[in-house]
Structure 1
């Protein structure tokens, strides 16, 4: 087994980051976060990639925060470092998709929620077990889960520590799609192709727009969209020309 805790593999403009502790069900450690953070930092500077998929090796996405590490006391670089790492990923100017199969519990769910949306295999199971272990979230659960599923549903999941399957996750809006496990790998690549076929400029601009106006009232959001619109991308003319069959006019 590779000693690399988070691997990266590129496919036609898509970077696939894989949590790689399959013998430990990809339980999350400081070392794993450190490697994830390094990959995300590299992706900020990589213009060849316009989509990122985050997934897990082996039987599952991740069983969550490594409880042994918690019990022993983790040496983190700074307070809030895990949360800061996930925020760095969340603000990446490229679509980031969490592709979840098998376990996705607590800390793992916090990681998945920092992606733009979740694609679930039929085997996926989600849950927040902070309350089961007398813990409270510090990686973003209290902020991202209610934004995704609504505050009442978030409270139900947090208070009960209930495990839910992929179809229930889809029903409540936690997951955006559910695919059969046998088709999971091919569905990941198909989704990546759909995203990378579109403009990386638009992806980045749209993410910034959505981030800036999330939870604003409608009128101020509309005003922000008009006043801070980033305009058209450098590939606009080429894309329209490819569709119409006409070459873009040369500038004089």
Structure 2
């Protein structure tokens, strides 16, 4: 594991208990309501289709709220993450909810070594995951290795065009960060996380890599997947541009003015060719 990823892992290990205790992740709602689903999974219910009885794996699962939601829709789920603190919270939540979910600790790029290759009906990746990966081609290789022939990738992610915008510039939508994948990451130093908490982080240094939409699709093509659906959205489930967005009752944030100016997220589906 590179030093970049080690520092990211330390940061996520500190975030995990804060996220699990936050209202935003809704752990208590999951426990009290057996039908409760995460906002992220609920948004894509019309696109997911029937997954009951299918074997699925959630890559970069964090504390497992989306993983649990997919299990509640009837899928036989596994989750994988590189943060042991995140997986501790994911296992605890699954146990409290009586859900049978297998969680595995691993770097994403070794997922096909710690999980059975060619065994999954679908691979799921939730929002806010790909920016933590330095190389999108290796991600696509792992996705292809895990899927059965005819198996499906399902991903909703923040749009790379949004991720190139400087969120601190309130004078306009200013492109200041890479759109395409670069060898060197964008570095951040911040003692906060994105949930309401008074606890500062001490592992404050993190690193991110953007990946253009064409780079993502091309990587999937190279590794034997065929695009089956691609939809860009004018919303996403966090306030990406503070002070310039409004939120709806489902927790989706949109530009307060001229929503047509910028795609904020996308849903992509691809099928592994036989």
* TM exceeding 0.5: no
Higher fraction of helix: 1
Q: Which structure has the larger Rg over C-alpha atoms?
A: 1
TM-score, structure 1 length as denominator?
0.26
TM-score, structure 2 length as denominator?
0.25
Which of the pair has the greater relative contact order for Cα pairs under 8 Å at 6+ separation? 2
Higher fraction of strand: 2
